[in-house]
Chain A
């Protein structure tokens, strides 16, 4: 359901643990009048390490399973040796009794367990998707990916991030950013992603630009940006459709 790139897919089969839980609920608890509450907990992090590995694998076509030592070795060689920030979100509790009250005779029947488990799995996956926050590195990566030039003026990048942030607020997309992105935060993200900020030799504040040589010269870096922007894309699929249709129509007029 959630592949390594961080993208969520539709569940087609029920999660085994959910199936077992429902079987236990049906066979014992429901008859005894007991209830079960599920508390969805969504764990998310900036995925800096995974994205690098994934892009590395895609470019090198080396898909060997990595052991603990190999991961440790890669981690030691990782830029800054930091894995990014992690966030935990607690969702609303789900009462199994209430959830299945619409089923026949107000309870769960044995023939319905598989269907019910799939329904509940889907609900939990959607909950996980909706609570998966957008990080600032998702915004920055998607903008760096789209920029056509070799350099990106830092001030313009800040403004573009602010515009996207305003849109996310309007759309009520889950994010860990409580305020609009500022220059300092964006500089931190750029450093984490491995990008350099070039300054004018005499006037540092006036002509700061982000050097995109890294993206243009290395396929791995290009794919990394794509994987980071997936975090944002999965919240904006329909917006993408609307943008694509409107721009295409406007161009054909």
Chain B
């Protein structure tokens, strides 16, 4: 997942992924109900309800909805295209996906309307 999201934005591209993730976990543990065990390298969450301690976790989780949904929609579309051995114009495909995603938002299948943005798709 981090490999996919990493390509979405420029985010410390020259650093090894493990060290980037480690610094972020350190920052999160300082300000939320998450603890990191140095010995076992295990992360444990003390609270997952919407309390103050898990505010950051829920905030980040929610923030990633639109990108996650957009990736899933594109992957499903690509799977169908590959299985059917179709050749489809890229611009047309993106426009169709945009309309389909918008419809999914209106049908409350996906949470964020921003998943339909053509630049994201």
> Which A residues form the contact surface with B (CB < 8 A)?
3, 5, 7-10, 58, 122, 125-126, 129, 142-143, 146, 160, 163-164, 166-167, 170-171, 219, 222-223, 226, 229, 233-251
Taking a contact as CB atoms under 8 Å apart, the answer to whether B64 and A240 are in contact is yes
Q: Is B81 an interface residue (CB 8 A)?
A: no
Residues from 47 to 62 in B contacting A, C-beta threshold 8 Å: 48, 52, 54-62
Contact of A242 among B13, B21, B66, B117 (CB under 8 A): B21
Tell me what chain B mostly uses at the interface: helix, strand, loop, or mixed.
Answer: helix
Say yes or no: A243-B119 contact (C-beta < 8 A), given A10-B13, A170-B30, A237-B11.
no
> Which B residues form the contact surface with A (CB < 8 A)?
1-2, 5-14, 20-21, 23-25, 27-28, 30-31, 34, 43, 45, 48, 52, 54-64, 66-68, 112-114, 117-119
Taking the nearest CB of chain B, how far is it from the CB of A87, in angstroms? 19
Taking a contact as CB atoms under 8 Å apart, the answer to whether A244 and B119 are in contact is no
Task: Kindly list chain B residues whose C-beta atoms are within 8 Å of the C-beta of A248.
Answer: 61
Complex: A166 Cα to B28 Cα, angstroms: 11
Complex: A143 Cα to B28 Cα, angstroms: 18
Complex: A240 Cα to B57 Cα, angstroms: 8
Instruction: Give 27 CB contacts A-B under 8 Å.
Output: A8-B10, A10-B13, A122-B13, A125-B10, A126-B14, A166-B31, A167-B28, A167-B31, A167-B56, A171-B23, A223-B113, A226-B114, A229-B63, A233-B9, A234-B9, A236-B60, A238-B11, A239-B27, A240-B60, A240-B67, A241-B2, A241-B21, A242-B24, A243-B28, A246-B43, A246-B45, A247-B54
Task: Kindly list chain A residues whose C-beta atoms are within 8 Å of the C-beta of B27.
Answer: 167, 170-171, 239
Complex: A210 Cα to B81 Cα, angstroms: 45
Task: Kindly list chain A residues whose C-beta atoms are within 8 Å of the C-beta of B67.
Answer: 240
Taking a contact as CB atoms under 8 Å apart, the answer to whether B114 and A244 are in contact is no
Say yes or no: A146-B59 contact (C-beta < 8 A), given A125-B10, A237-B9.
yes
- For B20, the closest partner residue in chain A by CB is A238
Besides A163-B31, A237-B6, A243-B58, 10 other A-B contacts (C-beta < 8 A) = A8-B9, A122-B13, A163-B56, A233-B63, A234-B9, A239-B28, A242-B60, A243-B57, A247-B48, A247-B61
Taking a contact as CB atoms under 8 Å apart, the answer to whether A241 and B59 are in contact is no
Say yes or no: A251-B62 contact (C-beta < 8 A), given A10-B7, A167-B31.
no
Taking a contact as CB atoms under 8 Å apart, the answer to whether A247 and B57 are in contact is yes
Task: Kindly list chain B residues whose C-beta atoms are within 8 Å of the C-beta of A167.
Answer: 27-28, 31, 56
Contact of B34 among A122, A240, A246, A251 (CB under 8 A): A246
The residue in A5, A8, A229, A242 that gathers the most chain B C-beta atoms within 10 A of its C-beta is: A242
Complex: A167 Cα to B55 Cα, angstroms: 11
Taking a contact as CB atoms under 8 Å apart, the answer to whether A226 and B119 are in contact is no
| Interchain residue pairs A-B with the least CB separation, the first 6 | A243-B60, A226-B114, A250-B48, A240-B64, A247-B61, A234-B9
Task: Kindly list chain B residues whose C-beta atoms are within 8 Å of the C-beta of A222.
Answer: 113-114
Taking the nearest CB of chain A, how far is it from the CB of B113, in angstroms? 5
Taking the nearest CB of chain A, how far is it from the CB of B14, in angstroms? 8
Task: Kindly list chain A residues whose C-beta atoms are within 8 Å of the C-beta of B112.
Answer: 226
Taking a contact as CB atoms under 8 Å apart, the answer to whether A226 and B63 are in contact is no
Complex: A183 Cα to B57 Cα, angstroms: 24
Taking a contact as CB atoms under 8 Å apart, the answer to whether A170 and B60 are in contact is no
Task: Kindly list chain B residues whose C-beta atoms are within 8 Å of the C-beta of A143.
Answer: 59
Complex: A243 Cα to B9 Cα, angstroms: 17
Task: Kindly list chain B residues whose C-beta atoms are within 8 Å of the C-beta of A125.
Answer: 10
Complex: A164 Cα to B31 Cα, angstroms: 10
